[in-house]
């Protein structure tokens, strides 16, 4: 009887088990990384559906997100591909707000600076996407242009002067657009 009582009390105290594979990530700005998330319900049946799981992204942008797969009746899996946006730290947070217990998980991402050659290729790719009218994350665009401008101004690479002047001009317009949109929000 005591064992059953202890089990019932413990099952009410513990939240869902959330795991990330890999449990840490590292990459360069602009790279796309894939992570697998598993959620195991401790309480059966769980009061929340698996779709009542919420994500927050810091310094990364989701590129593709799978639907939840049911591996077992109380074990679910989702695969997310993310683009690393800016040098520094990023993360993905997951939260399930069950009335019994809130479950949370987080994976840290170390985002390293990319090489100048890689940055220049990304700039060219972004310019092509602008011309073709493709969807581009606004913050990523500004951050990438800012990164290129700062590196160019330190190195002053003669062969890239025209590219620098073009990027600098577009960047200035983007900053003005951002300021105008922020004023409209206020």
Query: Among 10-19, 123-132, 166-175, which stretch is predicted with the lowest mean pLDDT?
Result: 10-19
Which has more confidence, 12 or 121? 121
Which of 10 and 63 is assigned the larger pLDDT? Answer: 63
pTM (predicted TM-score): 0.71
Whether residue 44 is predicted with pLDDT greater than 50 in this model: the reply is yes
Position 100 confidence tier, pLDDT thresholds 50, 70, 90: confident
pLDDT of residue 14: 58
User: Which residues are CB-contacts of 37 (< 8 A; sequence separation ≥ 6)?
Assistant: 18, 19, 20, 21, 77, 78, 79, 80, 94, 105
Return d(Cα 173, Cα 152) in angstroms, integer: 19
What is the CATH architecture of 14-112?
A: Sandwich (2.60)
Q: What is the pLDDT of residue 4?
A: 47
Which of the pair, 130 or 101, is modelled with greater confidence? 130
Question: What pLDDT does residue 93 have?
Answer: 93
The confidence band for 10, taking pLDDT boundaries of 50, 70 and 90, is very low
Q: The tokens of 182 are what?
A: 């922020």
Q: Is the peptide bond before 28 cis (omega within 30 degrees of 0)?
A: no
Q: Structural domain boundaries of the chain?
A: 14-112, 116-185
Contact call for residues 62 and 90 (beta carbons, < 8 A)? no
* Confidence band of 115 (pLDDT split at 50, 70, 90): confident
- Supply the mean pLDDT for the chain: 85
The alpha carbon dihedral of 60, 64, 67, 70 has a sign of: negative
Query: 8-12, 76-80, 99-103, 132-136: which has the highest mean pLDDT?
Result: 76-80
Q: Match 């959620």 to its residue by tokens.
A: 39
Higher-pLDDT residue of 62 and 4 is 62
pLDDT in tens, 13-35: 556 888 999 988 999 988 889 99
């Amino acid at each position: 009887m005591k064992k059953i009582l202890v089990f019932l009390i413990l099952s009410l105290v513990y939240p869902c088990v959330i795991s990330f594979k890999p449990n840490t990530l590292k990459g360069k700005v602009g790279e796309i990384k894939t992570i697998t998330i598993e959620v195991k319900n401790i309480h059966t049946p769980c009061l929340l559906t698996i779709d009542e799981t919420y994500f927050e992204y810091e310094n990364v942008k989701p590129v593709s997100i799978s639907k939840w797969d049911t591996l077992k009746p109380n074990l679910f899996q989702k695969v997310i591909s993310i683009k690393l946006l800016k040098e520094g730290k990023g993360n993905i947070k997951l939260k399930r707000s069950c009335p019994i217990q809130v479950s949370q998980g987080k994976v840290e991402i170390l985002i390293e600076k990319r090489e100048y050659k890689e940055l220049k290729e990304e700039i060219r790719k972004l310019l092509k996407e602008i011309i073709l009218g493709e969807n581009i994350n606004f913050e990523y665009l500004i951050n990438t242009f800012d990164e290129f401008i700062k590196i160019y101004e330190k190195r002053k690479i003669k062969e890239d002067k025209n590219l620098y002047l073009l990027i600098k001009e577009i960047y200035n317009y983007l900053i003005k657009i951002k300021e105008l949109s922020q004023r409209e929000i206020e």
